[in-house]
C-alpha cells in the first residue's frame, strides 16, 4: 500500500505506474482518493479548531463560575454543547472517509522498480540467466505421474475419492524423496544463516489483507467457515504476519527466516495437460524464505534470495534459469520479482518452480511493521522467496535424474536424507 502523502504529492507518478501495469481502469481512483483525502483533512482541521475552542470555553466557564456569573457560564456551556455535537458529527465523517480512503489505497498498485521491464502479461517476462546445460536424453521420458506410478509412488484415484481433484497420495520411495527434498532444503537454508521456523497454518483476515491484494486473496485463499481464519497459501503469509504491529530495533535487522508449511490454494481456472498430475494442486508442502530488513538493503537481499534457490537446484544437477517478471505480471504489492524455472527434458522447456519478490514497504505499511532507527521510526521492507516446493519440484527432479532403465539417480546431497540410497528402482514397467 502506498503512502497517502506520496500519492497526494505525486499523482502523475502513481498514474503512470498504473498505466505501466496495464490497469487503466484504476486511473480514476487516484483523483478520487485525493478528493477524499482533502475532505478528510478539512474535517480534521475543523475538528481541531473546535477542540481548541472547547478548551478555551471550558476555562471561561470555570472563570465565570468563580466570579459568580452563573447565567453567563450557562450560555457558554450551550456553546460547548453545540460544539460537541458538531465535533461528534465531524469525527463520524472522518471515520467514514478513512474507511473509503483505505479501501481505495488497498487497490492502487505499489510503485514498481525502474528496472522492471514493461509488459502486459507473463508472455513478456524476460530471461535473465541460465544455469547448467539443458539435456534431452535419447530415450522417451514419460509424464511425471507415469514415472511415479512405476515406483508405486502416487495414488490419484484414491485421493479423488477422498478429497476430489487436485489432491494426491504420495507413497514409498517417492514420498520419501519428497520428504528428503524438504529436509535438505531446510538444512541448506539453515547453513546459509537463516533461522528455521514452523509457523501457524491458519491466519486471521487482517493478516491476509496485510500480505496480499484482494484479487490474490479471492483467487487463492480457503476460508474456514464460521471463523475469522484462512488456510495459508504459503508460509510467507504467517511468517510476515509474525511481525504485525511491532517496532523492531534497527540493530536487530535483518530478520532472515526459513519456514516449512503445508500450503492450500484454490487454483481457480482450467489448466492444460502440462498442469495436471501434481503440477497445479490444492495442497502441497513448501520450504520458504523471508527477510525483514532496512529499505536500503532490500535490493541486495533480493539478489541473495533468488540465488539461494538457483544454488539449491544446481546442487542437485537440475538446470534452471531466472526470469524477470514484467510490470503486468507483478502482483499489486510487488516492487520487483524473479521466477526461477527448472528444465523439463520431457517438455523441452523450462517451467516455474519458485518465485522471489521484493515488496518494498507495502506489507509493512499494511501490517504496521516499523523499525526504530537513529532518526526515528520507519517502515521495514519485506521480501520472500521459494526455497523448494515439492511435489512440483519432484517433476523436475524425476525428469532430470531418470535413467533409460527406469531407475532414478539420487544426487549426493540427498543421499543422507534417503538412508544412503544412490538410486531408486521402479517396481514395474
- Report pLDDT digits (tens) over 33-87: 999 999 999 998 988 887 777 666 666 666 666 666 666 666 666 676 667 777 8
- What pLDDT is stored for residue 50 in this prediction? 77
Residue, of 165 and 312, whose pLDDT is higher: 312
Note the pLDDT tens digit of each residue in 219-243. Answer: 889 999 999 999 999 999 999 999 9
- What pLDDT is stored for residue 74 in this prediction? 62
> Lowest-confidence range among 103-107, 212-216, 318-322?
212-216
Q: pLDDT over 90 for what percent of the chain?
A: 80
Instruction: Taking the CA atoms of 417, 418, 421 and 424 in sequence, report the sign of the dihedral they define.
Output: negative
**Residue 278: band (very low, low, confident or very high) from pLDDT cuts 50, 70, 90:** confident
**Residue 275: band (very low, low, confident or very high) from pLDDT cuts 50, 70, 90:** low
- What pLDDT is stored for residue 1 in this prediction? 83
Neighbours of 205 (CB within 10 A): 14
Average pLDDT over residues 105-134: 96
Angle (nearest 5°) at CA 257 between 256 and 258 = 135
- What pLDDT is stored for residue 84 in this prediction? 77
Written as nine digits, the cell of 363 is: 506489507
Average pLDDT over residues 384-392: 93
Please check the confidence at residue 189 and state whether its pLDDT lies above 90. yes
Tell which residue, 312, 355, 352, 351, has the closest CA to residue 331: 355
- What pLDDT is stored for residue 267 in this prediction? 76
- What pLDDT is stored for residue 88 in this prediction? 84
Average pLDDT over residues 266-270: 65
Say if residues 117 and 327 touch (Cβ distance below 8 Å): yes
Note the pLDDT tens digit of each residue in 346-362. Answer: 999 999 999 999 999 99
Measured CA to CA, the distance from residue 161 to residue 421 in angstroms comes to 33
Query: Exposure of 219 by Cβ count < 10 A (0-12 exposed, 13-18 middle, 19+ buried)?
Result: middle
Please check the confidence at residue 117 and state whether its pLDDT lies above 60. yes
Note the pLDDT tens digit of each residue in 296-347. Answer: 999 999 999 999 999 999 999 999 999 999 999 999 999 999 999 999 999 9
**Residue 270: band (very low, low, confident or very high) from pLDDT cuts 50, 70, 90:** very low
For the chain, list the domains and their CATH numbers. 4-105 (1.10.287.40), 122-424 (3.30.930.10)
Tell which residue, 211, 246, 192, 174, has the closest CA to residue 424: 174
**Residue 428: band (very low, low, confident or very high) from pLDDT cuts 50, 70, 90:** confident
Please check the confidence at residue 139 and state whether its pLDDT lies above 60. yes
Angle (nearest 5°) at CA 388 between 272 and 357 = 85
Say if residues 322 and 339 touch (Cβ distance below 8 Å): yes
Please check the confidence at residue 371 and state whether its pLDDT lies above 60. yes
Widest CA span of the chain, in angstroms? Answer: 107
Please check the confidence at residue 126 and state whether its pLDDT lies above 90. yes
- What pLDDT is stored for residue 58 in this prediction? 65
Instruction: State the chain's mean pLDDT as an integer.
Output: 92
Amino acid at each position: 500500500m502506498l503512502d497517502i502523502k506520496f500519492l497526494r504529492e505525486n499523482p502523475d507518478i502513481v498514474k503512470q505506474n498504473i498505466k505501466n501495469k496495464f490497469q487503466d481502469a484504476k486511473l480514476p481512483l487516484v483523483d478520487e482518493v485525493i478528493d477524499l483525502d482533502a475532505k478528510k483533512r478539512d474535517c480534521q482541521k475543523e475538528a481541531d479548531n473546535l477542540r481548541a475552542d472547547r478548551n478555551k470555553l471550558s476555562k471561561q466557564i470555570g472563570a465565570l463560575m468563580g466570579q459568580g456569573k452563573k447565567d453567563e457560564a450557562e450560555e457558554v456551556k450551550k456553546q460547548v454543547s453545540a460544539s460537541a455535537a458538531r465535533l461528534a458529527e465531524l469525527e463520524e465523517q472522518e471515520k467514514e472517509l478513512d474507511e473509503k480512503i483505505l479501501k481505495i489505497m488497498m487497490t492502487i498498485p505499489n510503485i514498481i522498480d525502474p528496472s522492471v521491464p514493461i509488459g502486459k502479461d507473463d508472455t513478456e517476462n524476460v530471461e535473465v540467466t541460465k544455469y547448467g546445460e539443458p539435456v534431452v536424453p535419447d530415450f522417451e521420458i514419460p509424464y511425471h505421474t507415469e514415472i511415479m506410478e512405476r515406483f508405486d509412488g502416487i495414488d490419484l484415484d484414491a485421493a479423488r475419492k477422498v478429497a476430489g481433484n487436485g489432491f494426491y497420495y504420495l507413497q514409498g520411495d517417492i514420498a520419501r524423496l519428497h520428504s528428503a527434498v524438504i529436509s535438505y532444503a531446510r538444512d541448506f537454508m539453515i547453513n546459509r544463516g537463516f533461522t528455521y521456523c514452523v509457523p501457524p497454518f491458519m491466519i486471521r483476515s487482517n493478516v491476509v489483507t496485510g500480505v496480499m491484494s484482494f484479487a490474490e486473496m479471492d483467487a487463492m485463499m480457503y476460508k474456514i467457515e464460521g471463523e475469522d481464519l484462512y488456510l495459508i497459501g504459503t508460509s510467507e503469509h504467517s511468517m510476515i504476519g509474525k511481525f504485525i504491529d511491532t517496532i523492531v530495533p534497527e540493530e536487530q535487522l535483518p530478520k532472515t527466516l526459513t519456514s516449512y508449511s503445508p500450503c492450500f490454494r484454490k487454483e481457480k481456472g482450467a489448466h492444460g495437460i502440462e498442469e495436471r498430475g501434481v503440477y497445479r494442486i490444492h495442497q502441497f508442502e513448501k520450504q520458504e524464505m523471508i527477510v525483514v530488513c532496512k529499505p536500503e538493503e532490500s535490493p541486495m537481499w533480493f539478489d541473495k534470495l533468488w540465488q539461494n534457490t538457483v544454488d539449491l537446484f544446481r546442487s542437485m544437477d537440475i538446470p534452471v534459469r531466472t526470469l524477470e517478471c514484467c510490470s503486468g505480471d507483478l502482483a499489486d504489492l510487488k516492487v520487483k520479482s524473479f521466477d526461477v524455472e527448472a528444465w523439463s527434458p520431457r517438455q523441452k522447456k523450462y517451467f516455474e518452480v519458485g518465485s522471489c519478490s521484493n515488496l518494498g514497504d507495502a506489507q509493512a505499511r499494511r501490517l504496521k511493521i516499523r523499525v526504530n532507527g537513529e532518526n526515528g521510526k520507519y517502515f521495514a521492507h519485506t521480501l520472500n522467496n521459494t526455497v523448494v516446493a515439492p511435489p512440483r519440484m519432484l517433476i523436475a527432479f524425476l525428469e532430470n535424474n531418470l535413467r533409460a532403465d527406469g531407475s532414478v539417480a539420487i544426487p549426493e546431497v540427498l543421499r543422507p536424507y534417503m538412508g544412503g540410497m544412490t538410486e531408486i528402482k521402479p517396481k514395474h514397467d
